Structure 1
Amino acid sequence: MTGTVCLVTGATSGIGHETALGLARAGARVGIVGRDRARTDRSAQAIRADVPGAVVDAFVADLSSQAQVRHLAAEVRSAYDRLDVLVNNAGAIFDSHAVTEDGIERTWALDHLAYMLLTLELLDLLKASAPARIVSVASMAHKRGRIGTDSATGYSAIKAYSQAKLGNVLFTAALARRLAGSGVTANSLHPGVVATGFAGGTGGWFGLAWKVIRPFLIAPSDGAATSLHLATSPDVEGVSGLYFARCRPVPVSAAARDEALQERVWASSLRQIGEPGSLP
């Protein structure tokens, strides 16, 4: 990866930090994105301490805000003249319904729309750097996801999260079709059930259950393995539109395979992020 530039969102802890660390160890210049300046700077410093000579750039943005995603993309375009790998990793689960400043349910906004908006904002840079890779961290939770379950009435953290993860897989498939022949690939993945702080926004029964099972989950370094495989391995060069677990392509749900649903979610997501309808 020497000479390459990679960007990892949600890189202040957990899978994202381990992914950024692995890319730095492989020789890449790494941009890390976090929501909090102090935590993001600490993560960057920790990577530099582990990998002497590593070039690590810290970017700060709340990715649930579309304005901040666009500002982040502008900063990245200003900082880099190439982008070889984009890892969409940031995400969370919330135990109560809330909407963002853009009027969108926050799980969908952070866990799905931010992936799409940041990717589209950086797509020209990725295409100019081809061959390039887009890696989106989804989840096996997509298999229980249903589109249209974000109502404040009867809100469920698990349903909202599963819907967003289904959104990731649908987006990846639709994006891969549009990128055919461009030299840019797009794949999604299930990292495993990892002992991270992603459920920090929850309380109640789910938050309690997470605390109970967390000691039995896999380590973040293991959870990052598939992200790193998709970002770096020559085995997946040119492979696009697939969903991986344990570094292997695996089947997705019937809903995720539905091309008509992929296109409907692509179109509706474009409207939600305010992109012109003429976008491919």
Structure 2
Amino acid sequence: MKDKIVLITGGSSGIGKATAIALAKQGATILFVSRHEQRGQQALQDIKTHSQSSAVYFFCYDLSLMANVRRLAQEIKSKYDRIDVLINNAGILPGKHTLTPEGLELCWATNYLAGFLITQLLMDLLLQSANGRIINVSSEAHRLGQLDLDKAASPENYASFTAYCDSKFANILFTYELSRRLELTNLTVNCLHPGVIASNFGSTAFGMLKWLFRLGRPFMKSAKQGALTVVYLAASAEVAGVTGKYFKNRKAVKSGKQTYSTHLARQLWKLSEEQTGLESEVEEGK
């Protein structure tokens, strides 16, 4: 990973922070994003200390806002001429139905749309890499998800875990569709389940869900363990050229049946363009 430039969203804690430390130790230049200024600054020092690397840089943006995703992309483009690895890791589990100031459901905007948009906006930098890699952090929870945006956008009968599952389902649909569209390029796109991690994730949940997180915490993976598959996909020569796959414990496995629907994937892509106000940088394959 020496001299590789890696961008990680959701990098100030949990899997993102552990990934940053591991890749920095291997010689990568780390750019990480967090919405929390204080937490991000602390993570910056922690990553530098634990990796003994000074090539670590923090960008403070709340990626639930598409305007901020655009600002982040603009800043990255002004400072770097390529990105070798993009890790879309930012994720939340809201305690209640919340719309962003842009009118998007918070979980959907953060967990899915932000990754879709930043990937598109940085596509030209990713294509400058000799062997660029895009990694989307999903979850086994995708197996309970579906593409039902009307339901996710409505406060009626809203369930935060359902919204989370739907966002992770979308991550995988997006991964597979993007890999098809990038088939003739030097870029690979994969997604993964990191395991259930004992981190700050789930801290905004409430009621029974929050109780379950607390009860299950002793049985959860550490952030370092959860980062293993992310680091593997970012750095291992074993997956060079491998694309359009879903990984679990550093092995490619089958995702849920509906994630392989090209019809759903194209529907999602069109919807994503509309919701982000973007004309895609990557054309649909014929």
Per the shorter chain, which TM-score range? Answer: over 0.9
Aligned counterparts of 2:279 and 2:136: Cα–Cα separation in 1: 23
Alpha-carbon deviations, 1:146-186, whole Å to 9, x = none?
Answer: 11131211001111000000000000001111111210111
Match of 1:155 in 2: 158
- Would you say 1:7 and 2:10 are equivalent positions? no
Q: Which residue type is aligned with residue 182 of structure 2?
A: L
Check 1:279–1:224 CA distance in 2 against 1; reply closer, same or farther (3 A cut).
Answer: closer
1:124-163 → structure 2 map (5 Å cutoff): 124-148=124-148, 149-150=151-152, 151-163=154-166
Q: Quote the offset at 1:216 in angstroms.
A: 1.5
Q: Which residue type is aligned with residue 201 of structure 1?
A: T
Q: Which residue type is aligned with residue 264 of structure 1?
A: Q
Check 1:191–1:53 CA distance in 2 against 1; reply closer, same or farther (3 A cut).
Answer: closer
Q: Which residue type is aligned with residue 187 of structure 1?
A: N
Aligned counterparts of 1:275 and 1:47: Cα–Cα separation in 2: 34
The list of structure 1 runs, each at least 4 consecutive aligned residues, that deviate by more than 3 angstroms after superposition, is none
Q: Quote the offset at 1:128 in angstroms.
A: 1.2
Question: Of residues 154, 168, 178 in structure 2, which corresponds to 1:175?
Answer: 178
Aligned counterparts of 2:79 and 2:226: Cα–Cα separation in 1: 29
Q: Which residue type is aligned with residue 268 of structure 2?
A: V
State TM-score, norm by structure 2. Answer: 0.95
Aligned counterparts of 2:108 and 2:189: Cα–Cα separation in 1: 20
Match of 2:198 in 1: 195
Match of 2:121 in 1: 121
SS in 2 for 1:199: coil
Q: Unpaired segments of 5 or more residues in structure 1?
A: none
Contact 2:113-2:272 within 8 A present in 1 as well: yes
Contact 2:16-2:227 within 8 A present in 1 as well: yes
Aligned counterparts of 1:69 and 1:162: Cα–Cα separation in 2: 22
Contact 2:25-2:52 within 8 A present in 1 as well: no
Moved more, 269-278 or 193-202: 269-278
Aligned counterparts of 1:94 and 1:39: Cα–Cα separation in 2: 19
Q: Unpaired segments of 5 or more residues in structure 2?
A: none
Q: Quote the offset at 1:278 in angstroms.
A: 8.4
Aligned counterparts of 1:216 and 1:34: Cα–Cα separation in 2: 27
SS in 1 for 2:136: strand
Check 1:227–1:279 CA distance in 2 against 1; reply closer, same or farther (3 A cut).
Answer: closer
Q: Which residue type is aligned with residue 188 of structure 2?
A: T
Check 1:35–1:85 CA distance in 2 against 1; reply closer, same or farther (3 A cut).
Answer: same
- Would you say 1:205 and 2:211 are equivalent positions? no
Alpha-carbon deviations, 1:1-36, whole Å to 9, x = none?
Answer: 101100111111100000111110111000011111
Question: Of residues 243, 248, 253 in structure 1, which corresponds to 2:246?
Answer: 243
Contact 1:130-1:182 within 8 A present in 2 as well: no
* Superposition CA RMSD, Å: 1.2
Aligned counterparts of 1:36 and 1:195: Cα–Cα separation in 2: 19
SS in 2 for 1:226: helix
Alpha-carbon deviations, 1:186-238, whole Å to 9, x = none?
Answer: 10000011111111221111112111211211111000000000000000001
Aligned counterparts of 2:111 and 2:52: Cα–Cα separation in 1: 33
Q: What is the number of equivalent residue pairs in this alignment?
A: 280
Match of 2:83 in 1: 83
Aligned counterparts of 1:251 and 1:267: Cα–Cα separation in 2: 25
Q: Which residue type is aligned with residue 233 of structure 2?
A: L
Aligned counterparts of 1:47 and 1:278: Cα–Cα separation in 2: 33
Aligned counterparts of 1:81 and 1:241: Cα–Cα separation in 2: 25
Aligned counterparts of 1:217 and 1:239: Cα–Cα separation in 2: 29
Contact 2:70-2:118 within 8 A present in 1 as well: yes
Aligned counterparts of 2:262 and 2:50: Cα–Cα separation in 1: 43
SS in 2 for 1:87: strand
Check 1:253–1:71 CA distance in 2 against 1; reply closer, same or farther (3 A cut).
Answer: same
Among all aligned residue pairs of Structure 1 and Structure 2, give the percentage whose two residues are the same amino acid: 39
Contact 2:24-2:53 within 8 A present in 1 as well: no
Q: Quote the offset at 1:279 in angstroms.
A: 5.6
